[in-house]
Amino acid sequence: MNKSEFSLVRKTLNKTQKQISELLGVSIKTIHSYEQGWRNVPIHVERQLYFFLTKQIGHNRVDKPCWERKKCINKEQCPAFEFQSGDMCWFICGTRCNGTVDNNCNEKLKICRECEVLNDLLIASGIVDEMN
C-alpha cells in the first residue's frame, strides 16, 4: 500500500489522522509518515485497514466464498475454509491460494492484491475507482 492508497482508505473510513492513529494503535507521527511516504505502510496495518473497510460496508458473506469463486481444489487444507471465512481469505495467513501455502503474510498479500475477492471489497468501498 502506498501513501496515496493509505490516505484514500483513511478518508473512506471517514477518520482523521488522529482517529486512525488511535484505531491502529500507532502514533500520529507514524500516520504522518505513512501519508508523506517517509515510512512504508506495514502489511499488518494494510490488512487492518481492509478489515475495517469490510466492516464499514457490510461486505461479509455477501458473495460466494473464495473456494467456490476460485474453484479451489485445496479447500479442505485451507484455513479460510476451515473457519468458513471465504469473504476474508485475504486476512488469513496460510491459505492455499493458487495451490500454494504462503511463506509469509507479505507474499500472501501480494497474491491477494491481484485476487477478485479483495478487489471486490475495494470496488465495493469505492477505493478502486478512486485509485484509477
60-73 pLDDT, tens digit per residue, is 545 688 899 888 88
Residue 91 contacts residue 119 (beta carbons within 8 Å): no
Amino acid 41: pLDDT? 95
Compute the distance between CA of residue 89 and CA of residue 93 in angstroms, rounded to an integer.
8
21-35 pLDDT, tens digit per residue, is 999 999 999 999 999
Instruction: State pTM to two decimals.
Output: 0.78
Positions in the chain whose pLDDT score sits under 50: 61
Amino acid 87: pLDDT? 85
